[in-house]
Amino acid sequence: MVSLVNKKMRCSEHHMEYVAWLMTPIPHTKTTTFLTRAALRTGHNRLNHHMATKLKLVPSPLCSCGKNQTAEHILQACPYHSALRDTIWLEETALQKKLYGPREDLERTARFALQSGLTI
Ligand SMILES: [Zn+2]
């Protein structure tokens, strides 16, 4: 019984460290570009949908436009980011290519994430 309590304590401490890491702003570097891409690919990111539904750290999963704030929403559909999207991708580009495409597409995705001002 004691070990179960201790295990729960360790999981709770680990969770809090994870939460603290998620909430810490990270300067933009090649490493953070890689991490941003990984976060967008996996869904383990700081967008509202994940923060609200999985981590219970924000009250709503919604974007300020009213839709679920997911990577797909931000990269493909959010009206608040359409002007930035249009300057970075000159033609309609599939989500698959933005997340898994050639290097130039991945660099565009990282630039979009940075310039969007969102914490991803
Ligand atoms: Zn939106």
Sign of CA dihedral 80, 81, 84, 89: negative
Closest CA to 40 of 83, 72, 87, 77: 72
pLDDT at 2: 46
How far apart are the CA of 11 and the centre of ligand 1, in A? 33
How many Cα neighbours within 13 Å face the side chain of 13?
Answer: 6
Please give the mean pLDDT across all residues of the chain. 82
How far apart are the CA of 33 and the centre of ligand 1, in A? 22
Confidence of residue 63 (pLDDT cuts 50, 70, 90): very high
- Cα separation, 73 vs 61, in Å, equals 12
How far apart are the CA of 80 and the centre of ligand 1, in A? 6
Q: What's the pLDDT tens digit per position in 1-33?
A: 445 455 555 566 666 666 665 555 555 566 667
Helix (H) or strand (E) run with residue 30 in it: helix 30-42
0.85 exceeded by pTM: no
Percent of the chain with pLDDT over 70: 73
Confidence of residue 44 (pLDDT cuts 50, 70, 90): confident
How far apart are the CA of 6 and the centre of ligand 1, in A? 42
How far apart are the CA of 92 and the centre of ligand 1, in A? 18
pLDDT at 21: 57
Which residues have C-beta within 8 Å of that of residue 14, sequence separation ≥ 6?
none
* Both tokens assigned to 21: 């890491």
- Cα separation, 46 vs 97, in Å, equals 22
Mean pLDDT of 95-117: 90
How far apart are the CA of 102 and the centre of ligand 1, in A? 26
Q: In this model, does residue 68 exceed pLDDT 70?
A: yes
